[in-house]
Amino acid sequence: MNNKPIIALDMSSKIEVIEFLEQFHEPLFVKVGMELFYQEGPSIIKIIKDMGHDIFLDLKLYDIPNTVKSAMKGLAKLGVTLVNVHAAGGSKMMEAAMEGLVEGTPEGQERPFLIAVTQLTSTTEEQMQQEQNIMTSLDASVINYAMLAKSSGMDGVVCSVLEAKEIEKACGKDFYKVTPGIRLAGGDAHDQKRVATPDYAREQGSTQIVVGRAITQAENPSTSYATVKQLWGGI
Ligand code: C5P
């Protein structure tokens, strides 16, 4: 998978997305999440692809294996580069997701990479223990889910930069570690609790970084993107 910084298009309309992307004059790797996909539907994927960009479709599927398999079969036809599920759905669900992707990928096209969300970065250890009744540390739960994702055939996980090193130890260098929560030094953390710079992410073993507001809300998004790219340095 290419390792350009992934720009999170956390916008709700086609118009906003097109205006934003028109500021760039190179092929990008962008993330479309629930907000945009639920408003605009699959047509937004075609528009972005036709502009020449790669897409991470971040819908975090979580349902019974049969439903996830059928959903993935449909998503595989969209020609995106990366999709994801929740590891909490279990090994059977993750395996079914992969089967759906393999079955749904049109001949001659590459299967989208499939990664799993471990614990959401918005979940605290206290909340995990009290609400999910998981009586370990948050880190131990993240590693457990990463290992489960690996043994279920996933290509990697979404995780925080601060977890990337441990996941690398447990699951290897080639297992993708896609890390959001990226900020430039001195930038606003917004609602993210644990943020890291692109160069620190690289040091910690992130294989891809997801950058939203540090680029989308910058005064000059293309300059910010260039800075992120330079610090990340992995292309
Ligand atoms: O604006 P910011 O860089 O914080 O955006 C990060 C993006 O990554 C958002 O789209 C957010 O939903 C997503 N994300 C995250 N933490 C996760 C998974 C996804 O911040 N654990």
Domains of the chain: 6-232 (3.20.20.70)
Q: Tell me if residue 165 is catalytic.
A: no
Report pLDDT digits (tens) over 75-100: 999 999 999 999 999 999 999 999 99
CA of 157 to the centre of ligand 1 (A): 14
Which tokens is 198 given?
């692109």
Q: Which residues pair with 196 in a beta bridge?
A: 182
pLDDT value, residue 234: 56
**CA–CA distance from 221 to each of 19, 45, 69 (Å)?**
12, 21, 37
CA of 19 to the centre of ligand 1 (A): 21
Residue 235 has pLDDT above 70, yes or no: no
Residues across the chain:
235
> In this structure, what token pair is assigned to residue 5?
């910084």
Give the confidence band of 134 by pLDDT, cuts at 50, 70, 90.
very high
Compute the radius of gyration of the chain from its Cα atoms: 17
CA of 26 to the centre of ligand 1 (A): 23
Collect all residues with Cβ–Cβ distance below 8 Å to 81 and sequence separation of at least 6: 1, 2, 29, 54, 55, 56, 112, 113
Tokens of 232: 């990340």
Q: SS3 for 117?
A: strand
Close Cβ partners of 38 (under 8 Å, ≥ 6 residues apart): none
In the chain the first and final C-alpha atoms are separated, in Å, by: 11
pTM score, whole prediction:
0.95
Percent of the chain clearing pLDDT 90 (strictly above): 91
Q: For 135-152, what is the mean pLDDT?
A: 96
- Rounded CA-CA distance 155/134 in Å is 25
Q: From the CB of 224, is ligand 1 less than 6 Å away?
A: no
